[in-house]
Amino acid sequence: MLFGRDKKNPIKIVDKKAAKWTYATCGYCSVGCSIEVATNIEGKVVGSRGVGGADVNRGKLCVKGIFEHELFDSAGRGDKPLIRAAINEGFRETTWDQAASHMATKINDIQQRYGRDAFAVVSTGQLLTEEFYTLGKLTRGLIGTNNYDGNTTLCMASAVSGYKRSFGSDGPPGCYEDFEHTGCLIAWGSNLPEQHPIIYWRLQEAREKRDFPLIVVDPRVTMLAQKADIHLAITPGTDLVLLNALAHVIINEGLHDKAYIDANTVGIEALTSEVQHYDPTTAAKLCGIDEDTIRNVARIYAKAPTAMSIWTMGINQSTHGSDGVVAINNLNLITANIGKPGGTSLSITGQCNAMGTREWSSCSGLPGYRQLENPEDREEIGHYWKVDPEFFPKKRGLAQTDIFPAIESGEIKGLWLVATNPMTSMPNTERMRKTLAKLDFLVVQDSYADVETNQYAHLYLPAATWAEKEGVFTNTERRVNIVRKVTDAPGESKADFEIFNLLAKQFEGSKAMSFPEQPQAAFEEMKTLSKGRLADISGMSHDLIEKQRGIQWPYTDEQASRGELPPAGGKRLYTTPASFRFADGKAKLIALPFINNNEVPDEQFPFWLNTGRLVEHFHTRTKTGKLGNTNKYSPIPFMEINPDAAQDLGIEQGEYVRCISRRGDAVVMAMLTQRVPRNMVFIPFHYFDCVNRLTLGLLDPHSRQPAYKQAAITIEILEDQQAAAQLSMEMRRF
Ligand SMILES: Nc1nc2c(c(=O)[nH]1)N[C@H]1C(S)=C(S)[C@@H](COP(=O)(O)OP(=O)(O)OC[C@H]3O[C@@H](n4cnc5c(=O)[nH]c(N)nc54)[C@H](O)[C@@H]3O)O[C@H]1N2
Ligand SMILES: Nc1nc2c(c(=O)[nH]1)N[C@H]1C(S)=C(S)[C@@H](COP(=O)(O)OP(=O)(O)OC[C@H]3O[C@@H](n4cnc5c(=O)[nH]c(N)nc54)[C@H](O)[C@@H]3O)O[C@H]1N2
Ligand code: SF4
Ligand SMILES: [Mo]
């Protein structure tokens, strides 16, 4: 008898009969992988593959990218605009023309009665950049509300605010290639292998070629922590203490780069004096990292020939998220690690086009990193758009997280949600339910009609998604990459670009303005507006972008006309002395006192609640929850709990429990794992009516980003396991 390999059937790769491969950029995370999508001879989409010649992913894709084409015929898509007078009535179908004219009339009524800012717009990090630009023009130039922001306040706001405070402008200064040059890397609250798998692969590849210390700061033993040389299991919400302590050791031991600091920064005196309060002995008690380790890490970082920090939501989603970012910038400035190969302070962004919205949507300002507060910027954009500059507000309005409370207080009466699902993603679900139900008029523009937020909509606009349309995204390393149209959107859905254009036509003022019919023409406008600015894209074109598999900004028309091919100059920012975006060219070192204002565990609520993501799911699962190949790994809500804690409570693996916070409760299945310490549970946020029923989400004072990662809960075992299992199964998307 034969055993083993000889008896096994060879793996057969099914021939999907791909007739054509179309170039796109992945529409999930900010890594920005180049994908080709296959269609067969009948035009049916049959597969995806990574693009070999693309510098970002070099042929690879993660589990989401490889099955991304399956979303084209996923369940729950909208195919017709829907309308109703009140949310307790059923929707009826309507035409696009009627939908657009109804929406414009409602906006007008609300603004007439309650003022221009009583209608708010909340967008996303998931549209194409040309769409962001057009939405900005419509909102700033025609609707004229100042309550216009994006879900990026839940995500990147702290990074944006921190970059502006330190360097005078937003814009991540480094790139993935820095892994190949660095002498030391600290990852702060970032779980690359699950959330940015292809960046992780780039990092791993660099470490295989040339070993350098990897230090991971995360209260969980994440997959990245398991690969680290040093894992710092920090007390939640105290990164600022650790960062101040590192600066303390570096400055007090004279390991800082005085020449660089003198030539490139201001504020070293105030920083030096503030960090004296954070000697390692004192800091250790607050942040839970022992004093010798603090000293050791400080020395490793400062003595490395070059060193870099990357961070994601463990830093941004905190009451001191913006301060955490500034503190990371401080650390890199005092050690002269900005603008150098391998020396950088690189915020890993989140959504596929989190950068595109920052650059071009006009959400918190005007296009091309222009500011409402700057009269010249208002003048320039007003002139270019043919809008009276006096029509623009003189400072930014409410952030997304302040827009919802303004609905509660009655200040805002109408809301337009574009590609975001706050019912599931905002903290405190019950509060959000009441908030949305209070609106006189809610428009939901989403690719999925079954998105939870639609329960409160008066008007639903079905949108095309990802490669059902054409335009560009910008990734974490400022790389502009293109999505080509692969297939048509279902039914009467329209690209967001077309929806904005249709709506613009309803406003009298649009006659004098330009709202191009094609995304390429909008891209040309953006190129003109970018000339000579930080995010200069004037040398790019859609075709050149595809040919190069993405181009990092800045890439100027002078470079293009000299025949210099990308990445001519676009790899890093602040490479020349005193080139920061303040008038004197100097970056700011800022003193950052730590104020502990988090909800912390106590007798009544003894566990830390930590929340985040899983590799197989994307956000509120409107997409990945519908695809068997991603949903099968985790179809129902669960929590990671330490086996010792589970034993204390009498909880068995696979049992259902109720988690309770001061805001609400949620039922989840217990998964016993050493990944979390004894006093913490981790719950992924992908499930509706689950972890965000528990979260508090205190806001960062600078960025207004919620602290999703710090709250306190207690846990109860459920008597009726059958009923709990039933409830859990209902959370399945299909
Ligand atoms: N598969 C997948 N990938 C994604 C996404 C997705 O939904 N699914 N979303 C994308 C988006 S929009 C984003 S923003 C990114 C997010 O990417 P990440 O930020 O990497 O993901 P999270 O799981 O939210 O949080 C990261 C880590 O922060 C840690 N953390 C919690 N509290 C603290 C703390 O106080 N200090 C520190 N240092 N760490 C802490 C958590 O334990 C967690 O491991 O992922 C992007 N990529
Ligand atoms: N507890 C907890 N909560 C969190 C987080 C956390 O770590 N913990 N993370 C926060 C972060 S970082 C983020 S980024 C947010 C994300 O929160 P959301 O933005 O609310 O989540 P998504 O599911 O990405 O919502 C995007 C919506 O856009 C739709 N869509 C997709 N493509 C298109 C398109 O092309 N056009 C249109 N019109 N619609 C489209 C999708 O169907 C979906 O409904 O969640 C935040 N919430
Ligand atoms: S790593 Fe991100 S961009 Fe790349 S395939 Fe996965 S989800 Fe898409
Ligand atoms: Mo995000």
Residue type, 300: I
648-702 residue pLDDT tens: 999 999 999 999 999 999 999 999 999 999 999 999 999 999 999 999 999 999 9
Burial 481-515 (b: 16+ CB within 10 A, else e): bbbbbbbebbeebbbbbbbbbbbbebbebbeebeb
**pLDDT at position 564:** 87
164: which 2 tokens? 């502006």
499: which 2 tokens? 């929806």
Positive or negative CA dihedral for 235, 312, 223, 292? negative
Q: Is 70 helix (H, G, I), strand (E, B) or coil?
A: helix
715 within 8 A of 658, measured Cβ to Cβ: yes
User: Does 10 have pLDDT greater than 80?
Assistant: no
Q: Is 311 helix (H, G, I), strand (E, B) or coil?
A: strand
Which ligand is the nearest neighbour of the Cα of 677?
1
**pLDDT at position 486:** 97
Average pLDDT over residues 267-277: 98
Say which DSSP state 356 is in: H
* pLDDT over 70 percentage in the chain: 98
Atom of ligand 3 nearest to the CA of 32: 3
344 within 8 A of 185, measured Cβ to Cβ: no
Residues with CB under 6 Å of ligand 1 are 29, 155, 188-191, 194-196, 217-220, 222, 234, 236-237, 239, 312-314, 350-351, 610, 612-613, 615, 617-619, 709
Say which DSSP state 571 is in: S
Residue 335 φ then ψ, to 5°: -105, 10
Q: What is the mean pLDDT of the chain?
A: 95
In order of their start, the domains of the chain are: 20-73 (3.30.200.210), 82-151+364-561 (3.40.50.740), 157-347 (3.40.228.10), 607-730 (2.40.40.20)
**pLDDT at position 733:** 57
Least confident of 102-116, 222-236, 623-637: 623-637
Which stretches of 180-264 are assigned E, i.e. beta strand? 185-188, 214-217, 230-232
Burial 100-139 (b: 16+ CB within 10 A, else e): bebbbebbeebbeebebbbbbbbbbbbbbbbbbbbbbbbb
**pLDDT at position 458:** 98
Task: Choose the residue to mutate in 154, 191, 476 for probing ligand 1, maximizing ligand atoms within 8 Å of C-beta.
Answer: 191
Which ligand is the nearest neighbour of the Cα of 350?
1
Residue type, 479: R
Which ligand is the nearest neighbour of the Cα of 615?
1
pTM here is: 0.96
The span from the CA of 91 to the CA of 563, in Å, is 56
Residue nearest to atom 2 of ligand 3 (CA): 29
228 within 8 A of 204, measured Cβ to Cβ: no
- 689 alpha carbon – ligand 1 mean position (Å): 20
User: Does 569 have pLDDT greater than 80?
Assistant: no
Say which DSSP state 706 is in: B
**pLDDT at position 568:** 62
Average pLDDT over residues 299-316: 98
- 194 alpha carbon – ligand 1 mean position (Å): 9
627 within 8 A of 732, measured Cβ to Cβ: no
Kindly give the residue spans of alpha helices, DSSP state H, lying in 361-456.
375-385, 400-408, 422-425, 429-437
What CA–CA distances, in Å, run from 437 to 78, 433, 434, 444, 618?
22, 6, 5, 13, 26
- 195 alpha carbon – ligand 3 mean position (Å): 8
For residue 382, give the nearest of 394, 399, 397, 396 by alpha carbon.
394
Average pLDDT over residues 36-56: 95
Average pLDDT over residues 396-401: 97
**pLDDT at position 566:** 73
